[in-house]
Amino acid sequence: MSKTIITCAITGAVHTPTMSEALPVTPNDIADQAIAAAEAGAAIIHLHARHPETGAPSVDPAHFDLFLPRIRQATDAVINISTGGNPVMTVAERIPAAQRFSPEMCSLNMGSMNFSIHPLADRYDTWKEDWEEGYIRSMEGNIFRNTFADIRMVAEDLGSDPHNVKFEHECYDVGHLYNLKFCLDQGYFKAPIFVQFVMGILGGISAEIDNLMFLKKTADKLFGDAYQWSAIGAGAQQMRIAATAAMMGGHVRVGLEDSLFIAKGEKAKSNAEQVEKIAQILRLQGHEIATPDEARKILGLKGADRVAI
Ligand code: KMH
Ligand code: ZN
């Protein structure tokens, strides 16, 4: 049985500072939590940037530069830079950091959708930062745009020379797997592809075990043995989906980007706490956890010596 890769998504672009004290939004906190997550067993660190003063989601390469070198120096974890940026931007606006730092991995979102967490806005009366409430509420009317032309553009730009980035293909619904199959048949990507089943986002498929099984069955049919996969249960279902995915032979993703919780009704204290918990579950299940170098082999990555960080 192949080893299980833990990805940790440190901060994302969706949760806001009011929602959790633990969410890292300053460059130092993002770096500290990423390093601690790697030490706890995460082989891949999925990263977004934040504005250093306000904590607002940012795609500015200068903001990534405030924490990437520290993470690279302190760990041998695979650095994965989001091209999801935040859901209100175009893909062209979301890729300059990946172009500049040429990481081993980047996310690539495989379809346009109504990605939203606007119902959460009604849970808060006061907000720490001015931008938060408007940002969350604006998602109700937003389309997270990832057209075929957008996907082709990212594949051509980042997936080939000189970058040769491996993509974490974010699939939020079954149709996104068919989009990925179309793109694969067009020759945009090289096997093995790495598919991330993202479950539990409003606008996408819900985080239920039946759905995970259907996603896996569909991916098996479309990609045969030319793919590796991982699953995210956004929100309260994070650990349940990760534990089930591992039992089904998949890899797992945790992190405060996807869920602010460690248990029902209990907020996580850090990203590392979530990594420690899933690592413990994996060991109890009899799985071995992949080191960063083992993850590089499993996914066919270009190597840490070929990044520009
Ligand atoms: N926040 C996740 C649900 C990306 O960075 O490209 C999706 C994500 C998108 O990670
Ligand atoms: Zn992300």
Q: How far is the CA of 294 from the centre of ligand 2 (A)?
A: 22
pLDDT > 70: what percent of the chain?
Answer: 100
- The answer as to whether 177 is a domain residue is yes
**Nearest-CA residue for atom 6 of ligand 1:** 84
Q: How far is the CA of 82 from the centre of ligand 1 (A)?
A: 7
Distance of alpha carbon 67 from alpha carbon 27, whole angstroms: 5
Q: Which residues surround ligand 2, an ion (CB under 5 A)?
A: 82, 84
- The answer as to whether 279 is a domain residue is yes
Average pLDDT of span 103-111: 98
- The answer as to whether 66 is a domain residue is yes
- The tokens describing 249, both together, are 């032979």
Return the pLDDT at 1. 62
Q: What residue numbers bound the domain in which 16 lies?
A: 6-113+145-306
For the Cβ of 87 lying below 6 angstroms from any atom of ligand 1, the answer is no
> Which secondary-structure segment (H or E) carries 102?
none
Question: Residue 41: which CATH number?
Answer: 3.20.20.70
Asked whether residue 280 carries a pLDDT value surpassing 80, the answer given is: yes
Amino acid in the structure at residue 156: E
Distance of alpha carbon 61 from alpha carbon 270, whole angstroms: 25
State the average pLDDT for the chain. 96
Work out the pLDDT band at 29, boundaries 50, 70, 90. very high
Work out the pLDDT band at 2, boundaries 50, 70, 90. confident
Average pLDDT of span 112-130: 96
For the Cβ of 200 lying below 6 angstroms from any atom of ligand 1, the answer is no
The domain total for the chain is 1
For the Cβ of 235 lying below 6 angstroms from any atom of ligand 1, the answer is no
Rounded-to-5 percentages of helix, strand, coil across the chain: 45, 20, 40
Atom of ligand 1 nearest to the CA of 9: 10
Distance of alpha carbon 225 from alpha carbon 230, whole angstroms: 14
Asked whether residue 152 carries a pLDDT value surpassing 90, the answer given is: yes
Q: How far is the CA of 275 from the centre of ligand 1 (A)?
A: 18
Hey, which of 166, 198, 201, 256 would you mutate to test ligand 1's pocket, going by the most ligand atoms within 8 Å of its Cβ?
A: 198
Please tell me the least confidently modeled range out of 28-42, 62-76, 86-100, 229-243.
86-100
Please report, to the nearest 10 degrees, the dihedral formed by the alpha carbons of residues 43, 68, 308, 59 taken in order: 110
- The answer as to whether 221 is a domain residue is yes
25: left (phi over 0), alpha (psi -120 to 50) or beta: alpha
- The answer as to whether 120 is a domain residue is no
Is residue 135 classed as helix, strand or coil in its secondary structure? helix
| Segment 59-86, tens digit of pLDDT | 999 999 999 999 999 999 999 999 998 7
* Ligand closest in space to the Cα of 232: 1
Question: Angle at CA 72, nearest 5°, toward 252 and 11?
Answer: 50
